[in-house]
A and B are shown apart, each in its own frame.
Chain A
Amino acid sequence: MAPMVGTEPAGGSSKNVCMTYFVATSILSATLKREIRRTTGLSDRKLMIEKRRLRPMTSMTVSISVCVFAISLLFAGVTWSDPVSADSSKLDSFATQFVLIGRGTPRPVTGVTLADVPNDDGTAVAISWTLSPDDVKGGLVRRYKIFRALMTDGQQGTFEDVGDVTAGQSVFRDGQCLVGELYSYKVRAVHDSIDGGEEIFQAYSESDAAGPVSPSAQWFDWRRINVTFGVLILCLLIVYYIRQAQSGKPLFIRKIAGLEAVDDAVGRATEMGRKIFYIPGSQDMDNVQTIAGVTILGRVAELAATYDAKLDVPVSRSLVMVTAREVVREAYSKAGRPDAFHDDQVHYLTDDQFGYAAAVDGMIVREKPATIFLLGIFYAESLVLAETGNSVGAIQIAGTGEPSQLPFFVAACDYTLIGEELFAASAYLSREPRQLGSLKGQDIGKGLIIALILIGIILETFHLWEFHRLFTVIE
């Protein structure tokens, strides 16, 4: 099937204009020259000398040329308003028609190939093609439009626009397919003119229909094989050290100053007869940092119950309130003080970030707690809370996995759990062998990563670039 071409007359008419103008002026000037030579009997050289006498005739030649040119343009305007893909309503002015002179239809793309995108859920097809010969700098192609048709019962359906790419690109990924269906594709090389954001002209040529292709889903994403190995090794290390800990083998875990201070901080609140504020971050239970914050809350609540300190847990999410309430209730029971617990110890304030910060700040200023725990995920409210706590003289233990908030906590709090220490806190405080084993496994994993980084640095220093590609992670 021959490639389909749109607005072919547009390209033809521009040629017509030039040709008409050129032929007409050539014939006219040759005729005039011959006539002058015949009537005057002068040679070409002498004619040059007789310039002054011939000036009226030269002026006439120029005038006639301009007239021919203008008439050609008008004819071209009529021709342009006709094509299928040109919007004739927008070609009503002479100026617009003038702009279009010399613009034509690009030649079509060739070699359209279709392929099922690998390692996906079967919803994508990759279309590639050889660029149109007119896709060069300053050439006719502005963009490529991709059309797709669904094949049903061996019949090709209507081609529908599924997207476009700018000139110079020869690949398109159609991610809106259905698994198992058959699709055909066409690529259209488009030349269009935009005026004030409005398309005033479009000429195009289409490739032959390619296909059919049927996208399929895969059962494993092989691009993630490195992550699979990484996760497996890390999990095996953790499980191995959990087993070691269970068998009674003593494990060395480094001291974490912030967690060592928890006992003192709770004790201080008891001695001063003031409250402990525990703030488990400003996000919901679907965040692992909030879960870490809530798990540490259990240990703190147990200590508070043991020391008979007053614990107040203002939260910013309803689900966190429900979970934290259960955790605190169980902790009080475990400490043998179920009577000391009441539901309102864990209370909801608001979901709004700064509304929550304002409410907690107000409580801190009014109630002047002796100890404040800020453990969980925090954003801009971190410093607002920590500085207010600092201003009332509370001892503050903070921790988050947000690197951007850590400097604020370091500056405003007495102890800060930096990143991983937040996740280690629950295991550290529980002193339960299995949990400590997981910490050990995590530390060995960290050692392994440090070793790999060092190897990478050495190899890259010696211009061996391939090593880092092993660690490329596909999002």
Chain B
Amino acid sequence: MRREIPLLITGLAGIVFIVQYFIPHFPFNRFSNWFSDWFSIVAACAIWLGALNLFKLSLEKIYARREGWGYALITIVCFLLMAVIGFSEGRGYSKVGTNFDWMYNYVYSPLSSTMFAILAFFVASASYRAFRARNFEATLLLLAAFLVMLGRVPIGDVLTGFLPPGMRLSHVATWIMQFPNTAGQRAILIGISLGIVSSSLRLILGIERSYLGGD
């Protein structure tokens, strides 16, 4: 029964979700929202599991003075600080001017933005590796990237100003993005969609069971 009941729930939920797409009549038109609400409720309750797990592991690390225990200490201090400030401010904790709001704006947001900003440097290093002309495909990638990048800045058209308008770099860049790039993206999207259908069918029919912890 431990395996059958989850399989039954999965199968029923999957069928209901498929059917509700085609049947607009009540109650099918409400299923999507109901399931979504229930998922939010379950996920909100489950957040405590995650939070407690993080707390427990960090405390163990500090207690055992394992490598990197300092980071665990910072995690716990920040966790408690935000939680205490948030709860102490009551319902209006997220209003402008509260301490929680200050922490959010001047600690959390800058840290988050910093991580996002690092992406620019990673893009540069990854591009450097990807654009090395090691084989035919990589050379093609390099060439396409070169044309698109140059075509997107004014100097591209300045350099190719002597050519007819349709052959200038800005047009070449637009053509690459509009046709080969879109075609490739759509091919991937069609594959993904088919993969999702096939994967969902395996789950609904109970053929795929490894998410339940076994075959």
Which A residues contact B (CB, under 8 angstroms)?
119-122, 179, 217-221, 224, 227-228, 231, 234-235, 238-239, 242, 284, 286, 288, 291-292, 294-295, 298-299, 317-319, 321-323, 326-327, 329-331, 333-334, 344, 347-355, 357-358, 362, 366, 380, 383-384, 386-387, 390, 401, 403, 406-408, 410-412, 418-424, 426-427, 430, 432, 434-435, 438-439, 441-442, 445-446, 449
> Does the CB pair B197–A442 fall under 8 Å?
yes
| A410 nearest in chain B by CB position | B130
Residue in A327, A348, A355 with the greatest tally of chain B CB atoms within 10 Å: A348
Interface membership of B71, Cβ < 8 A: yes
> Does the CB pair B194–A418 fall under 8 Å?
no
> Does the CB pair B130–A438 fall under 8 Å?
no
> Does the CB pair A291–B203 fall under 8 Å?
yes
Q: Please give, as numbers and ranges, the residues of chain A lying within 8 Å of B68 by CB-CB distance.
A: 362, 366
How far is B115's CA from A362's CA once the two chains are assembled, in angstroms?
Answer: 12
Q: Mark B112-137, 1 if CB is under 8 A from A, else 0.
A: 10011011001101110110000000
How far is B71's CA from A355's CA once the two chains are assembled, in angstroms?
Answer: 13
Q: Please give, as numbers and ranges, the residues of chain B lying within 8 Å of A231 by CB-CB distance.
A: 18, 197
Interface membership of B189, Cβ < 8 A: yes
**B91-99, B159-167, B171-179, B204-212 - interface stretch:** B204-212
Interface membership of B214, Cβ < 8 A: yes
Q: Please give, as numbers and ranges, the residues of chain A lying within 8 Å of B210 by CB-CB distance.
A: 294-295, 298-299, 327, 426, 430
Interface membership of B65, Cβ < 8 A: no
Interface membership of B140, Cβ < 8 A: no
A-B CB contact pairs (8 Å), 29 listed = A121-B26, A122-B26, A220-B22, A221-B22, A235-B197, A235-B201, A242-B205, A288-B199, A294-B210, A298-B210, A298-B211, A318-B50, A318-B51, A327-B212, A327-B213, A347-B54, A348-B49, A351-B50, A353-B112, A366-B67, A380-B116, A383-B122, A387-B122, A401-B196, A419-B192, A420-B192, A438-B198, A446-B191, A449-B190
Q: Mark B134-159, 1 if CB is under 8 A from A, else 0.
A: 00000000000000000000000000
Which B residues contact A (CB, under 8 angstroms)?
18, 21-26, 29, 39, 42-43, 46-51, 53-54, 57, 67-68, 71, 111-112, 115-116, 118-119, 122-123, 125-127, 129-130, 185, 188-192, 194-203, 205, 207-208, 210-215
Q: A219-B25, A221-B23, A411-B127 known; A435 and B201 CB under 8 Å?
A: no
How far is B57's CA from A383's CA once the two chains are assembled, in angstroms?
Answer: 27
> Does the CB pair B50–A387 fall under 8 Å?
no
Q: Please give, as numbers and ranges, the residues of chain B lying within 8 Å of A298 by CB-CB distance.
A: 210-211, 213-214
Shortest Cβ gap from B148 to chain A (Å): 12
Which of B22, B29, B115, B130 lies in contact with A357, CB distance below 8 A? B115
> Does the CB pair A411–B129 fall under 8 Å?
yes
How far is B61's CA from A366's CA once the two chains are assembled, in angstroms?
Answer: 14
| A434 nearest in chain B by CB position | B207
> Does the CB pair B185–A403 fall under 8 Å?
yes
Shortest Cβ gap from B181 to chain A (Å): 10
Given contacts A383-B123, A403-B189, A418-B188, 11 further A-B contacts (CB under 8 A): A179-B26, A218-B25, A220-B22, A227-B21, A318-B50, A329-B213, A348-B53, A351-B47, A387-B122, A420-B194, A434-B207
How far is B71's CA from A354's CA once the two chains are assembled, in angstroms?
Answer: 16
> Does the CB pair B198–A423 fall under 8 Å?
yes
> Does the CB pair B112–A446 fall under 8 Å?
no
Q: Please give, as numbers and ranges, the residues of chain A lying within 8 Å of B25 by CB-CB distance.
A: 121-122, 217-219
How far is B111's CA from A358's CA once the two chains are assembled, in angstroms?
Answer: 10
Q: Is the interface of B mostly helix, strand, loop or mixed?
A: helix
Q: Please give, as numbers and ranges, the residues of chain A lying within 8 Å of B203 by CB-CB distance.
A: 291
How far is B74's CA from A316's CA once the two chains are assembled, in angstroms?
Answer: 19
How far is B185's CA from A331's CA once the two chains are assembled, in angstroms?
Answer: 35
> Does the CB pair A424–B123 fall under 8 Å?
no
Which of A319, A330, A418 lies in contact with B214, CB distance below 8 A? A330
How far is B196's CA from A333's CA once the two chains are assembled, in angstroms?
Answer: 29
Q: Please give, as numbers and ranges, the residues of chain B lying within 8 Å of A390 by CB-CB distance.
A: 126
Q: A420-B192, A430-B210 known; A318 and B49 CB under 8 Å?
A: yes
Q: Please give, as numbers and ranges, the residues of chain A lying within 8 Å of B29 by CB-CB distance.
A: 121, 217
Q: A295-B208, A420-B195, A438-B207 known; A120 and B24 CB under 8 Å?
A: yes
How far is B214's CA from A387's CA once the two chains are assembled, in angstroms?
Answer: 32
Q: A357-B115, A383-B126, A442-B195 known; A432 and B215 CB under 8 Å?
A: yes
Q: A317-B50, A355-B112, A383-B126 known; A327 and B194 CB under 8 Å?
A: no
| B122 nearest in chain A by CB position | A387
> Does the CB pair A347–B53 fall under 8 Å?
yes
Shortest Cβ gap from A456 to chain B (Å): 13
How far is B112's CA from A384's CA once the two chains are assembled, in angstroms?
Answer: 13
> Does the CB pair B50–A242 fall under 8 Å?
no
Shortest Cβ gap from B78 to chain A (Å): 10
> Does the CB pair A423–B39 fall under 8 Å?
no
| B29 nearest in chain A by CB position | A121
Which of B67, B118, B213 lies in contact with A330, CB distance below 8 A? B213
Which of A299, A384, A438 lies in contact with B118, CB distance below 8 A? A384
How far is B130's CA from A327's CA once the two chains are assembled, in angstroms?
Answer: 35
How far is B190's CA from A68's CA once the two chains are assembled, in angstroms?
Answer: 76
Residue in A231, A362, A418, A420 with the greatest tally of chain B CB atoms within 10 Å: A420
> Does the CB pair A327–B211 fall under 8 Å?
yes
Shortest Cβ gap from B159 to chain A (Å): 26
> Does the CB pair B49–A411 fall under 8 Å?
no
